[in-house]
Amino acid sequence: MIKTLWPVALAAFVTAASGTALAGTPGAKPAEPATRMANAAVLGQLPFADRKDFTTARRGRIAPLPDGQIKDANGNVIWDMATYQSFMDSEFAPDTVNPSLWRQERLNNITGLFKVTDGIHQIRGFDLSNMTIVEGETGLIVIDPLVSVETAAAGLALYRGHVNKKPVVAVIYSHSHVDHFGGVKGVTSDADVEAGRTKIYAPSGFLEHAVSENVYAGNAMSRRALYMYGALLPKSADGQVGTGLGKTTALGRVSLIAPTDTIGAAGEAREERVIDGVRIEFQLTPGTEAPAEMNMYFPDSKALCMAENAAHTMHNVLTIRGAQVRDSRGWARYLDEALIAYGDKTEVVFAQHHWPTWGREEIRTYLADQRDMYQYIHDQTLRLVNQGLTPLEIADTLQSLPPNLANKWYARGYYGTLSHNVRAVYQRYMGFYDGNPANLDPLPPEDVARHYVQFMGGADAVIAKARRSFANGEYRWVAEVMKHVVFDDPANIAARELLADALEQMGYQAESGTWRNAMLMGAFELRNGIPDAGGGTTASTDTLTAMTIEMYFDYMGIRLNGPLAALLMPEFNINWTFVDLDQNHVMTLRNGTLTHRVSAPDGKAVLTIKLTRPVLDDLIAGEISFFEAVHEGLIVLQGKPALLAMVMLLQDFFDPLFNVVTP
């Protein structure tokens, strides 16, 4: 079964970590003096006396999230804000949390139904993202229905309990990340969409990117997302406090309904639509925060939705869970276009994360600052690239944004960071290689570790020296050294403990929620092992069956063990005939490689498989096995099925909990 979609992976593994804030993180240690000093210093570096965001984040609140929790049909808690709120009631950060991150996450704790302006409301704090509800003439337009069906349904129910009970006549996906479409079946249904009672709008390229971005490298992305989001960490002052962009992702069911209407299908940069009497100007922004994304301006409300292109944080040019590198230069240009087109006629800016910004002057400043931030990251990285600096040297040189930006809360690195964003820009232009031939063909980690430990006098000597460095607060160096000892001998408990201690202190100091989570997750697994929190598929049926036939065959090629196939199997073609689509695909195995094309049936093919697309969907979703489908006559085979069986046997299974901090 295919393993895909990072937020769904969280749902598969998180249950063991929920509701454990009071117990703390197993094996966690207090903040060291160097960490306490570093975190205390933050208080003098940023304008903590500025409390405006707390007022703004509460503005227009009609009702909070009831009981602070959302449960599924079986009574299981799938969204829990009450636990966060129980240990984050103090304005003062504990020693184990960077005060700037603590401030951000206290703001993210403010939940509920909010009025943005007349006819526009938001559900905030029900999931990682926001759900926006716009009132039309006859019904509701829902923008971005969260990650899961249950949280979206709870948000809509809260709206209907306090505002009106109109039906949902349209859903708009602002972009192709799952926290902006996964809950769609909590606000509408396949039946309503098929009957035309609800229309689904999305930017051009949405469906392709919504499925493919997290399928081809989906298993690795899912595993790394467990680190980025701290999904298995307890919610506690020495554990997970949030992600900077929001708290975490809900554990409910992820759904997907394909768009009925595409914005920008003809390649337009902007497109105007009237949806249920509401005028909306769409600004297409491909390649920014998502490969397919769009901003929305509501001229009658003088309201601008920036999707996820502007938020109250520095975002990711490259997310640490893994993705394609984003275009920070293009991102800045689209922000500038929005500023020029809408800045002088907008009274409120809202986005699909965090809280809105009101007032034209503040809006213009906010959009300009966000533009300058991404442009600065782009330009200064390339300036240093052209001076010959490597990615790590650039990250160490560009320690901060210019003061006017660095002191703006919405430009702080709570989700993305300056350090990894500049490295992403380098990667976009220059690739993985830093230009030093010594780094062109390096040894793999285990070999490097063995040689390092031998050169440095053996594990005991390295650990003894590293303990002195730890006592001096040199946690980055300790982590650098101890990772080699652990990779040389993963059973060395002293090495694992010291590496965990160093990562933990780095996590306690991190301003970025994602960096904190990754550091603390590494420490957790070094001390406690990889949690046995279940497995199973990490993708929803809706998402898997949304794959095109071409994407499914592509993924079969990715999973094929090429070296074994080249050794064991001859060259051959297989016809896949989809009788309901009147379409044939020819699959070729050659040189350990699966390729395919839409083509007339190959008369020399060793096998012809006749089936329908719904049968393929059932196979993908695991509703039926290939053998059962053949036995029931749903698949007709002509030729040599043994060769297909070999292809299927050579499909690799991807372990969703592979090692990260150990070899």
| pLDDT tens for each residue of 74-99 | 999 999 999 999 999 999 999 999 99
Lowest mean pLDDT: which of 22-36, 158-172, 527-541? 527-541
- Is there a domain that residue 429 lies in? no
DSSP characters over 239-254: SB---SSSS----S--
Lowest mean pLDDT: which of 10-19, 307-316, 346-355, 486-495? 10-19
Q: Distance between CA atoms of 458 and 462, rounded to whole angstroms?
A: 6
Strands (E), 81-125: 112-117, 120-124
Instruction: Report the CATH number that the domain containing residue 606 is assigned in CATH.
Output: 3.30.1050.10
Per-residue pLDDT at 21: 40
Does residue 2 carry a pLDDT above 70? no
Per-residue pLDDT at 149: 97
Does residue 632 carry a pLDDT above 60? yes
Does residue 9 carry a pLDDT above 70? no
Average pLDDT, the chain: 93
Lowest mean pLDDT: which of 113-122, 232-241, 409-418, 649-658? 649-658
Q: What is the mean pLDDT of residues 307-314?
A: 98
Lowest mean pLDDT: which of 239-248, 357-366, 612-621? 612-621
Domain count, the chain: 2
Does residue 5 carry a pLDDT above 70? no
- Is there a domain that residue 519 lies in? no
Structural contact between residues 19 and 261, judged by C-beta atoms closer than 8 angstroms:
no
Does residue 23 carry a pLDDT above 90? no
Cα-based distances in Å from 73 to 56, 78, 154, 541: 34, 10, 12, 18
Per-residue pLDDT at 14: 40
How sure is the predictor about 540, in pLDDT bands with cuts at 50, 70 and 90? low
Does residue 20 carry a pLDDT above 60? no
Per-residue pLDDT at 584: 97
- Is there a domain that residue 395 lies in? no
- Is there a domain that residue 442 lies in? no
Q: What percent of the chain has pLDDT over 90?
A: 88
Q: What length does the chain have?
A: 663
Q: What percent of the chain has pLDDT over 70?
A: 95
Does residue 226 carry a pLDDT above 60? yes
Q: Distance between CA atoms of 301 and 515, rounded to whole angstroms?
A: 38
Domain extent, residue 322, equals 6-373
pLDDT tens digits, one per residue of 600-619: 999 999 999 999 999 999 98
How sure is the predictor about 232, in pLDDT bands with cuts at 50, 70 and 90? confident
Instruction: Report the CATH number that the domain containing residue 52 is assigned in CATH.
Output: 3.60.15.30
Q: Which of 335, 351, 373 is the last residue of a domain?
A: 373
- Is there a domain that residue 539 lies in? no
Does residue 562 carry a pLDDT above 90? yes
- Is there a domain that residue 431 lies in? no
Q: Which of 373, 408, 430 is the last residue of a domain?
A: 373
Q: Distance between CA atoms of 200 and 103, rounded to whole angstroms?
A: 37
> For 273, which DSSP code?
E
Q: Which of 326, 357, 373 is the last residue of a domain?
A: 373
How sure is the predictor about 7, in pLDDT bands with cuts at 50, 70 and 90? very low
The residue to which tokens 């719904």 are assigned: 614
- Is there a domain that residue 622 lies in? yes
Q: What is the mean pLDDT of residues 468-477?
A: 98
- Is there a domain that residue 352 lies in? yes
